[in-house]
Amino acid sequence: MKIPLVDLNAQYASIRNEIDAAIRRVMASSSFILGAEVTLFEKAFAAYCGVKHAIGTSSGTTALYTALAASGIGPGDEVITTPMTFIATASEIRRVGARPVFVDIEPESLTLDVEKLDEKIVTEYDVDHDAGYPINRVTHRRLRAVLPVHLYGQMADMARLQNLTDRYRLLLIEDAAQAHGAEYRTPDGIWKRAGSFGVLACFSFYPSKNLGAYGDAGAVVTNDDGLADYMRRYVHHGRSAKYRHQFEGGNYRLDALQAAILRVKLGHLDQWTAARRRIARLYDQLLGDIPEITIPKVIEGRRHAYHLYVIRTPRRDELLAKLQERGIQVGIHYPLPLHLQPAYEGLNYREGDFPVAEACARQALSLPIYPEMTDEQVEYVVDTIKDALSSPREHDATL
């Protein structure tokens, strides 16, 4: 049996008529840049997230860049984020001229550790409220924002993060690239979706994401009218009217064809998320008793969107080889945390700085998960894992 990590063909087969009609509609209109398709999708996606505005972008990466630029973050600034993420989270902080500062993740949710974050601010920054921002005692840069990542589809601890960013007058910007439809229960008992906590939140619609385009696409969402207006212009060369530019922006627009495709898919997203949760529950049941495997922990008060179903095991490399040999595609998200990437050598981090992220990078294994996956496929993956673990251990990955 061959099992892919994600099956985009199966998804297309289930919605082909709707998708083909949407593509034909755009072709017939010859309106490929912005226009009604983009506006309609932006409205629908903002409503889905429970916020006022969504601004379509050309990718999740340019969504991050647009959000950071619109926040006025630039040279002389620092942004705290997690090392356990895709490089775009940090690269866009750098692209606006600021410096990413990493804080380790919590061992259960694998999202930013709020206690460590607070401790870092208290010990390494001057928190002078008259100056406005905490100032780093070594670099003398201003700390401007916290950028949590809702890793694998489970949200970071947003209520505590909001509390902290309010206290230190920092911007809270969500990297929600993996978390369409994930939810978090506020202290008032209200379930709110990813994207509705930060001043700004960035989504990716990369094809394999829970809501994926047929190419690159992304969005920034916000409740702030001024930021929304600025970003709408920013992604379109700072344009106020034809050949009139209020400021320099760039070409970071969401493509009309992708918007039409995304609007069709958005109508199916809740059903797909429910299917992902059902598959995750089955994996949980079948893998939960295996001592060498840690299944993903869903924190009380959070609803996981299962972009990825990531187990952790000290026998990761053995398991990976066995699964691949049996035709099962697996992934590692991510094998090297950002602080150890060659691209960030200049930031002067070293191995041992973030032990939780480093252990996760050694042990994480993403199993196939997609809405169309059958119980038999899940069972085949699990049987293969059990089979691999029943043979004597080859070597230990250090914990």
Ligand X SMILES: Cc1ncc(COP(=O)(O)O)c(C=O)c1O
| Complex with ligand X: residue 286 or 308, whichever CB lies closer | 308
| Complex with ligand X: residue 177 or 340, whichever CB lies closer | 177
Residue with tokens 């991050």: 64
351-358 long-range contacts (CB < 8 A, ≥24 apart) are 353/102, 353/104, 354/83, 354/84, 354/102, 354/103, 354/104, 354/105, 355/104, 356/104, 356/105, 356/106, 356/107, 356/110, 356/113, 357/82, 357/83, 357/84, 357/104, 357/105
- CA dihedral 312→158→99→202, nearest 10 degrees, is 90
The answer to whether the beta carbons of residues 328 and 369 sit under 8 Å apart is: no
What single letter denotes the amino acid at residue 130?
D
| Complex with ligand X: residue 88 or 286, whichever CB lies closer | 88
Minimum Å gap between C-beta 127 and ligand X is 29
| Complex with ligand X: residue 212 or 371, whichever CB lies closer | 212
Minimum Å gap between C-beta 351 and ligand X is 22
Minimum Å gap between C-beta 149 and ligand X is 5
Minimum Å gap between C-beta 61 and ligand X is 3
Minimum Å gap between C-beta 63 and ligand X is 7
| Complex with ligand X: residue 67 or 287, whichever CB lies closer | 67
Please report, as ranges, the residues that interact with ligand X according to CB under 6 A.
59-61, 85-86, 88-89, 149, 175, 177-178, 204, 206, 216, 218
Minimum Å gap between C-beta 393 and ligand X is 32
The answer to whether the beta carbons of residues 216 and 230 sit under 8 Å apart is: no
Minimum Å gap between C-beta 86 and ligand X is 4
| Complex with ligand X: residue 53 or 307, whichever CB lies closer | 307
**114-124 vs 158-167: helix crossing angle, rounded to 10:** 20
Q: C-alpha distances in angstroms, 224 versus 46, 110, 199, 213, 367?
A: 12, 29, 7, 26, 38
Spell out a b/e string for 50-76, using b for 16 or more CB atoms within 10 Å of the CB, else e.
bbebbbbbbbbbbbbbbbbbbbebeee
**Closest residue (Cβ) to ligand X?**
60
- What whole-number distance in Å separates Cα of residue 205 and Cα of residue 297? 25
The answer to whether the beta carbons of residues 220 and 231 sit under 8 Å apart is: yes
| Complex with ligand X: residue 80 or 287, whichever CB lies closer | 80
Minimum Å gap between C-beta 156 and ligand X is 11
Minimum Å gap between C-beta 213 and ligand X is 9
| Complex with ligand X: residue 176 or 319, whichever CB lies closer | 176
- What whole-number distance in Å separates Cα of residue 249 and Cα of residue 138? 33
- φ/ψ of residue 359, rounded to 5: -65, -40
| Complex with ligand X: residue 88 or 388, whichever CB lies closer | 88
Identify the bridge partners of residue 56 per DSSP, sorted by sequence position.
Answer: 219
Asked whether the CA dihedral 64, 70, 75, 76 is positive or negative, the reply is negative
